[in-house]
Structure 1
């Protein structure tokens, strides 16, 4: 039961990142259209992230996450001073850094657990 709260909190947080918390509407029909569009975007991003996790075999990079896909999609459709290649390179660098941090974290955590059990 305690673990389900984390799933609910995660769903609320991802809903907020794609606009579910800011429907500036005055009528029910407008609200319904906004929520439907946001939920569709959420479903598409979730499916893309799940497929990426399934086919991901690279240990140097972490798989594309929901938020990373959202960032890249936003950069792709907005007019920025940087090219799409710049943002893809930035995403690769960031995911490589996250993979190194994750590996170091687990290695350090394993050492701490091993030290605490051996004393």
Structure 2
């Protein structure tokens, strides 16, 4: 094998590993309790479909305010849960909470980067 092919394969492994970690954390990819291949296949297919929908929604977002971080897969999942599964809070409150959370995260990121540059 040429060296550049090995490097390409090794580099693609990282993105696959990250995808599975995101799947485990966001859509419960590791929470299956099945006894047979058919049940496992159905569960994994639905979990990967859910992750694909979340990733697609995250990628389709318009440019956001520079004072907030962009929507992440986790934040899109939280918003969908808040809007679809629980209807106790008004939508304005949920959106305000999401903007506040992402603004706070952006402020923390800027502070962290400034502190690291000062060293």
- Name stretches of at least 5 consecutive residues in structure 1 with no aligned partner: 113-119
Query: How many equivalent pairs are there?
Result: 110
Cα deviation code 1:64-86 (max 9, x no counterpart)? 00100011111122135323322
For the aligned residues, what is the CA RMSD?
A: 2.3
Matches within 5 A, 1:29-44: 29-44=38-53
1:22 alignment partner, SS class: coil
Q: Distance in 1 between matches of 2:35 and 2:70?
A: 40
Matches within 5 A, 1:1-12: 7-12=15-20
Q: How far is 1:58 from its partner?
A: 2.0
Q: How far is 1:24 from its partner?
A: 2.4
Residue 19 of structure 1: which of 14, 28, 31 is its match? 28
2:97 alignment partner, SS class: helix
TM-score, structure 2 normalization: 0.76
